[in-house]
Amino acid sequence: MKRRIQALERTLHREVPLTRQMGIRVEDHDGSELVVKADFAPNVNIHGTAFGGSLFSICAITGWGLLHLKFDEAGVAAQSVLGEAGIRYLRPVRGEIEARCRLPEDFDHFMQRVLQGQRAAVRLEAVIRTGGRERVRFQGDYSVFYP
């Protein structure tokens, strides 16, 4: 598993160079949840808290990364794109940023469609918590396509 998350991080840094500047690191994947961290310093705003645009991007990348790993695991040549998303900024984020995205209950149905080469979409949620408190909640609708 460690090699797969290292490969995902390299892919992110190569395909989306901004992720390198943001200090994004793929930390962990247990098969159903992906953990992505980002350095605070390059993502700070004028108020000394994490910039909202950075938090949105980190959450969106975490969802995309989870799908990337699941497609790779299934051996399917599919990619995903974020079609629509929303975010709630509940509390300021100070310090290292950690986003978590877990597979939804309907993921098996989504993957069945993907494995059959059909059009499919899935809603993923990513959450940023610090100090034991939820700070950010993101929902994104990702669609699959076949290159």
Local structure of 45: helix, strand or coil: coil
| Whole-structure pTM value | 0.96
Which residues, in sequence order, are CB contacts of 2 under 8 Å at separation 6+?
A: none
Rounded-to-integer distance, Cα 11 and Cα 144, Å: 18
Reading the chain (147 residues) residue by residue, the pLDDT tens digits are 799 999 999 999 999 999 999 999 999 999 999 999 999 999 999 999 999 999 999 999 999 999 999 999 999 999 999 999 999 999 999 998 999 999 999 999 999 999 999 999 999 999 999 888 999 999 999 999 998
Structure tokens, 40:
């605070």
Q: Is domain 2-145 classified as CATH 1.10.645.10?
A: no
| Kind plus residue range of the DSSP H or E element containing 1 | none
Tell how far CA 54 is from the center of its chain.
Answer: 12
Got the DSSP string for 99-144? Answer: EEEE--TTHHHHHHHHHTT---EEEEEEEEEETTEEEEEEEEEEEE
